[in-house]
Amino acid sequence: MNTINLLNVFISGLKNAIIKNHKVFSTKSSNQIIRILKCLEREGFIYSYDISNKMLIISLKDNNGKLIIQNVDYYSKPGKRRYVNTNELKKINQSFETLILSTSKGILSNNEAIKQNIGGELLFKII
């Protein structure tokens, strides 16, 4: 399975966990998903993740029983990739969304990308 399909499976699993208010969910493991999870952990959206038999078990953070992540939306799709530079990120950064980007420095959030003054491919946003 290619990395775009694994990213779609991960985001679908995350959306389902949000809808059902599950604090733990699992998805197939890949290097890209692990890098995304490290970014989400740095940003404070997940407690932790564990790797077991090529599966990732992800613990989502909550606040008084309500998940911190309220929604997830795709940006880039296989037929339509969306790239942004630092100036565009600064404009987008005024909202209460966290963007996850694939950059030359790895997977970063919009805040990390602005600090490092780099742009990249928008993967998805977290509300």
Question: Which CATH number covers residue 76?
Answer: 3.30.1490.10
Output the pLDDT for position 79: 81
> pTM for the full model?
0.92
Parent domain of 33? 3-126
Domain count, the chain: 1
What would the two tokens of residue 91 be? 């404009």
Q: Which pLDDT does position 64 carry in this prediction? A: 92
- The structure tokens 């613990």 sit at 59
Residue 106 sits at φ, ψ, to 5 deg, of 110, -165
pLDDT tens, position by position, 90-125: 888 777 889 999 999 999 999 999 999 999 999 999
Mean pLDDT of the chain: 92
- As a whole number of angstroms, the distance between CA 106 and CA 52 comes to 24
